[in-house]
Structures are given as C-alpha cells and as structure tokens.
Amino acid sequence: MGEESVTAPAVAASASGLPLRPPSEPVRAAGTKRSTFVFVVTSARPQVGKTFLARLLIDFLRRDRAEPLAYDLNPSGDALSDYLPQLAIGADIGDIRGQMALFDNLIVDDGVTKVIDLGNASFGPFFAIAQKIGFIKEALRRSIEPIVLFAADAHPVAIRAYADLRLQGAIVVPVFNEAILRGRILHEQYPVARAAAVPLHIPELVPVLKEQVETFRYSFIDFQDRLPLAIPSEISLELRAWTRRVFLEFRELEMRLLLTKARASGGV
C-alpha cells in the first residue's frame, strides 16, 4: 500500500466513517460489560462457505446477547450485507481513511463482540495491515481477544495461509464444513496447538434445506423460536435440529475462549 499505510499510533486515533455500534443498540448499563471478542471469519480462497459461516456466528451471538457489530469486507457478490442489510456495515481498507476507521473500531474494549466477514480479495491486505500496526498485540494489551475462524479447504493456498496466520499470535480456529470438504479429512493439514483453537465442525446442510434458507433469507434464530409459516413444517424442524448442532459448536468454542481468558488473567 506504499507510503499511505496505517501506522501504530493510528490505532488509538479517532477516525470517522464507521459507527462504533448500530444506532439502535442501547448503551450498556454500568457493571454489565462483557468480554470483548473480535471474530475474523475468513479464508484465502473463494467459495468455501465463509459468509455462510459468518451468518451462523452472528445469529448465535444475537440469540443470547446484544447484537454484535458486523463488518463486511467483500468487494462484491454474495456478501454479508446481502443477508443482513440492517446489521452488516460495509468496510473498505483500500485507503488510509478506511483502514483507520475499521481498526480504530476493532480496538475499542466496549464489551461488544465484532464479527468481520473478510473476503479472500481482502485477506492479504487485512492481515498485512494488522501485522504492521501490531493490532493483535495491542488488542490483547487492552483485553480484547482476536479470534480467526478459518474456513478450511484442501487447496494448498488455504493450507499455507492458515499456517502463516498461526504465526501472528491470534487464536486461529479451523472450521471444517462438511458441505465443502465432502468427506476429506484435513486435520493433519490444519494442526492446532491451543485448547481454544479446537476445530469447529459444521454438518452438511442438504441442498433443499440450504435453498430454503437462502431463498427466504431467514435468520437461523427464526428456526429456534418459531417455525416460519412460509416453509413446510418438516423442513423447518430439520433446520431447527441442524442449527442447534451448529450453535452447540459455537457454544463450546465460547466456553473454551472464556476459560482460556480466565486462565491467562489468573482467574483459574
């Protein structure tokens, strides 16, 4: 990005362009502050279910807490904002102003979880900026935990990118989506060395069920609390069971993250 790049002091600077939280979200009462997590949902390859994974994570977070902040870093096509237009904020790190606006928001320890849907075209620039400004180190210093959910696939580009990310210091969690892997076992290609980075497993959503979700653009929460009238009840029940399995994966990840954070602070 040449000379016009974010520098370390810019992380703490005030930058406009992206709201700190959606206008509809109330400010938390004193004493109710949560741990601040930043989830980066990404892969170095296209068409690996990354945005689908981000939607699932966001709905899991929305189910039992205030809405997370969601950032969409996809240049075009099947982006997070297509599915969550009222929640996802478009972000652009192609210039210094956009870089500052995004990273300044991510470094705020406000108890609001952030989710970034990071497209493969922005993968390299995002992590290059993060490394240059020392984002992960600064986030940890402020008690903010960055977690990368990496949508795994068998391509060598993805495997190398995963290995490189693990060297940056964040918790990098491989996500094995059965719909993408088609029975391939890739645990050896995606090793983990931390308890908090135990892989997530997303069961395959059969085509007829996925078609219903994408056609009607329902939130996955809808299948937990009530059965949508526009979808046949037997399909809704299958989606409810599938969603509960996925949410359990996220719940267990959340417990691992909280336990790791408690141990690091000497609380366990």
Q: What tens digit of pLDDT does each residue of 107-135 get? A: 999 989 999 999 999 999 999 999 999 99
Kindly state whether residue 144 falls inside one of the protein's structural domains. yes
For residues 115 and 258, which has the higher predicted lDDT (pLDDT)?
115
Distance between CA atoms of residues 232 and 240, nearest Å: 12
Domain count of the fold of the chain = 1
- For the chain, strand residue ranges (E) read 36-42, 69-73, 88-90, 114-118, 144-151, 171-177, 200-202
Q: Which of 235, 233, 214 is nearest to 82 (CA)?
A: 214
Mean pLDDT, rounded, of the chain: 83
pLDDT at 20 over 50: no
Residue 2 included in any domain:
no
Per-residue pLDDT of 36-94, as tens digits, reads 899 999 999 999 999 999 999 999 998 876 789 999 998 766 688 888 888 899 999 99
Task: Report residue 268's pLDDT band, with 50, 70 and 90 as the boundaries.
Answer: low
User: What is the model's pLDDT at position 66?
Assistant: 72
Q: How much is the pTM?
A: 0.84
- By residue range, what is the domain housing residue 181? 34-205
What pLDDT sits at residue 75?
72
| Nearest residue to 116 via CA among 73, 162, 158, 174 | 73
pLDDT value for 1: 42
For the ranges 85-89, 195-199, 225-229, the maximum mean pLDDT occurs at: 195-199
Report, in angstroms and rounded to the nearest whole number, the Rg of the chain calculated over CA atoms.
18
CATH number of the domain at 38, please.
3.40.50.300
Give residue 258's Cα distance to chain centre. Answer: 17
110 within a domain of the structure (yes/no): yes
219 or 162, higher pLDDT: 162
What Å distances lie between residue 120 and 12, 70, 157, 203, CA to CA? 27, 17, 11, 23
Measured CA to CA, the distance from residue 136 to residue 138 in angstroms comes to 5
Asked if residue 92 belongs to a domain, the reply is: yes
Q: Could you tell me if residue 218 is inside a domain?
A: no
pLDDT tens figures, 93-106? 999 999 999 999 99
- Residue 51 lies inside a defined structural domain of this protein: yes
Query: For 136, phi and psi rounded to 5 degrees?
Result: -65, -45
pLDDT of residue 16: 37
Neighbours of 82 (CB within 10 A): 14
Question: Is position 213 within any domain?
Answer: no
Q: What percent of the chain has pLDDT over 90?
A: 54
- Is residue 173 one of the residues assigned to a domain? yes
Answer yes or no: are the C-beta atoms of 64 and 254 closer than 8 Å.
no
3-state class percentages of the chain: helix first, strand second, coil last, to nearest 5 = 45, 15, 40
